[in-house]
Amino acid sequence: MSNQSLHARRDAAVPRGISAMLPVYVERAENAEMWDVEGRRFIDFAGGIAVLNTGHRHPKVVEAVKKQLDSFTHTCAMVTPYESFVALAERLNTLTPGSHAKKTAFFTTGAEAVENAVKVARAYTGRPAVIAFAGGFHGRTLMAMALTGKVAPYKTGFGPFPSDVYHVPFPNAYRGISVQESLKALDTLFKTDVEPSRVAAIFIEPVQGEGGFNVAPPELLAELRRICDQHGILLVVDEIQTGFARTGKMFAVEHAGVVPDLITMAKSLAGGFPLSALTGRAEMMDAPVVGGLGGTYAGNPLATTAALAVLDVIEEEKLVERSVTLGKRITDRFEAMAKRNTLNVIGDIRGLGAMVAMELVKDRTTKEPAAELTKALVMKAADKGLVLLSCGTYGNVIRILVPLTASDALVDEGLDIIETALEELVAV
């Protein structure tokens, strides 16, 4: 069996709309390393797109799931529930920001959590409209796509989208968009397109994922909280990519000291098992009628059991603190690279904790995005044994989502590959 033969089979059996960034077929994985079907080793800086903060196959997660397998694998929590479903809801109600009474609903994907956040917001407020930010990513289902502020490839050819969805610019200091401009655009939106009394919720990622790891300034989040309170709008924070210790806090919004009404979670919640969650103020979460929320696989027992183990690992191994030191290690390395004259294609370095990105440009003065160079770096890194992800509205941002459990030596090995690969590409 080879990567090439498997890729040929994939092309014949799987629609082209489901991308495969690398023609590398994984056979096994451990912590922050993977081996393909040909026996080649890869360092994993992608983490399954932020799913593996606790690494591949963490022993405690594996042990918990094996134990659950011996009991039962599915009953449907809406028919006959089970203790792990309740226990995980209790823990998330405690862990998420705010001391108010909360309740949690479980789903299978991040997009489902977002869709259900819209449902809860509309049920509670009786209002139809929702606002999101340009460059944001909230999922691939229809309402989540409408909220997503990036056309290609997520929206291309899929319209029309649900109505009463509006977007405002996201602050980006590197690209010259200030907090004041974003807030002015929101005020203009209220005057020209939708009155605040029709808005159910404002959705925001505290750090944009697909949008390029743009960090929401604390003053923006604080002002959104004030505006939402003023107009009876729900503030919904999307922590699907940022959550569970990635940014140096359990949740990225904690950096701003802002308490959201609803918070969506998924990805690293269950260490690789499909699970998402929506946690919010109890009275808001109770707004939908009985049976209005749920899903056949929502809160599957294997996933909820895995999630409880993940939360134990984060606490026991101090992964919140680890994210801070790991992020500094990555950021320091990128900043040292950027100071070199031979690597003047590095335009910006940003992030929170171990959610770090560097933006590549053709020219530091014009800041013209270097999308082709970014794509080439991803491929050359793969040739050298490193799985790397790009992102950004212009496709010119390299993002780091290495498991927080990775050793310093392994992280340095991966950073060495990035530096060497970029040097070779720039020298051509």
* The predicted structure's pLDDT at residue 152: 87
- Say if residue 285 is in the same domain as residue 390: no
Predicted confidence band of residue 428 (pLDDT cuts 50, 70, 90): confident
CATH number for position 331: 3.90.1150.10
Looking at the predicted structure, is the pLDDT value of residue 378 above 80? yes
Among 250, 285, 316, identify where a domain stops.
316
Of 94, 140, 389, 386, which is closest to residue 240 (Cα–Cα)?
140
Residues β-bridged to residue 399: 357, 389
Distance, in Å, from the CA atom of 66 to the CA atom of 40, rounded to the nearest integer, reads 28
Predicted confidence band of residue 148 (pLDDT cuts 50, 70, 90): very high
Model pLDDT for residues 45-74, shown as the tens digit of each residue: 999 999 999 999 999 999 999 999 999 999
Instruction: Give the structural domain span for 126.
Output: 62-316
- Say if residue 322 is in the same domain as residue 221: no
CATH number for position 71: 3.40.640.10
Residue recorded with tokens 């229809």: 142
- Say if residue 31 is in the same domain as residue 93: no
Predicted confidence band of residue 403 (pLDDT cuts 50, 70, 90): very high
- Say if residue 329 is in the same domain as residue 243: no
Predicted confidence band of residue 412 (pLDDT cuts 50, 70, 90): very high
- Say if residue 187 is in the same domain as residue 70: yes
- Say if residue 258 is in the same domain as residue 395: no
Looking at the predicted structure, is the pLDDT value of residue 13 above 90? yes
Q: Are 243 and 269 in contact (CB under 8 A)?
A: yes
Looking at the predicted structure, is the pLDDT value of residue 341 above 90? no
Give the total number of structural domains in the chain.
2
- Say if residue 210 is in the same domain as residue 95: yes
Looking at the predicted structure, is the pLDDT value of residue 84 above 80? yes
Share of the chain above pLDDT 70, in %: 100
- Say if residue 324 is in the same domain as residue 241: no
Distance, in Å, from the CA atom of 87 to the CA atom of 298, rounded to the nearest integer, reads 15
- Say if residue 88 is in the same domain as residue 214: yes
Distance, in Å, from the CA atom of 250 to the CA atom of 268, rounded to the nearest integer, reads 11
Of 212, 175, 155, which is closest to residue 371 (Cα–Cα)?
212
- Overall pTM surpassing 0.75 (yes/no): yes
Among 316, 347, 370, identify where a domain stops.
316
- Say if residue 129 is in the same domain as residue 249: yes
User: Interior CA angle at 399 toward 387 and 117, to 5°?
Assistant: 110
* The predicted structure's pLDDT at residue 19: 92
* The predicted structure's pLDDT at residue 260: 98
- Say if residue 123 is in the same domain as residue 162: yes
b/e sequence 45-65, b meaning 16+ C-beta within 10 Å? bbbbebbbbbbbebebbeebb
Model pLDDT for residues 282-304, shown as the tens digit of each residue: 999 999 999 999 999 999 999 99
Mean pLDDT of 273-290: 98
Of 397, 101, 132, 144, which is closest to residue 266 (Cα–Cα)?
144
Mean pLDDT over all residues of the chain? 97
- Say if residue 167 is in the same domain as residue 292: yes
Among 316, 332, 366, identify where a domain stops.
316
